[in-house]
Amino acid sequence: MYGTYYLLYFGFTLCPDICPLSVMKMTKAVRKIQQSKEGKQYYKVKSVFVTVNPELDKAEILSDFCSMYDKNLIPLRETSNSSENLQNMLRVFKVPVGLNETERQTIKDYFDRKKENEGRFEKFKFWKRKPKFDPLEGMMNDHSRVFYLMGADNRFLAFYPLDIEEKELV
């Protein structure tokens, strides 16, 4: 992305609320900058969406998601959630994703206790239950808490909170 400024956002396509609203705000702001006199003359700004879950956000899904907001929104993805490059980006930009071992154990203990308590009433149930969702096998995604402004030399310049007004972001 050398030679252009860009706003960077980390998220995932199945996010029900934060990611869609944030991506919409980011793309609208970039569009306004691009259409302004200064934007046309001085600032070449682009918007970039990086998926934090490339295993579910396949290339086609990610492309459709991005084009829904702006045909110029650049989608980025790695091939695996455990990709060293992705994990490094998430660490550098401090994007919280997944669970550490303590959190995993706390959640496992909670659901083990819940299952144990439910077992006492099993003889009173006259229907078969479907297999339960295992929360530790499910997706634990998160997203940026901010938009990152990156310079034409790919260096970090500033960040803006997600609750910033669109006109302030411009």
For the chain, what are the domain ranges?
5-98+141-169, 101-139
CA distance to 20, 63, 77, 86, 148, per residue, from 94 (Å)? 20, 25, 17, 12, 11
CB 49 within 8 A of CB 74: yes
pLDDT at 138: 47
H-assigned helices in the chain: 18-35, 37-41, 59-69, 84-92, 101-119, 166-169
Q: Name the pTM for this structure.
A: 0.75
Confidence (pLDDT) at 1: 76
CA 151 – CA 157 distance, rounded (Å): 6
Tell me how many helices (H) and strands (E) the chain has: 6, 5
Per-residue pLDDT, 98: 64
In tens digits, what is the pLDDT along the chain, a chain of 170 residues? 788 899 999 999 988 888 999 999 999 999 999 999 888 887 789 999 999 989 889 999 999 999 999 999 999 999 988 888 988 888 888 887 765 667 667 777 777 777 776 665 555 555 555 545 454 444 456 778 899 999 999 999 999 999 999 889 88
In CATH, 5-98+141-169 is 3.30.70.3280: no
Per-residue pLDDT, 6: 94
For 33, other C-beta atoms within 10 Å of its C-beta total 20
Nearest 5°: the CA angle 15, 62, 77 is 100
Query: Between the CA of residue 110 and those of 101, 106, 116, 121, 133, what are the distances in Å?
Result: 14, 6, 10, 18, 14
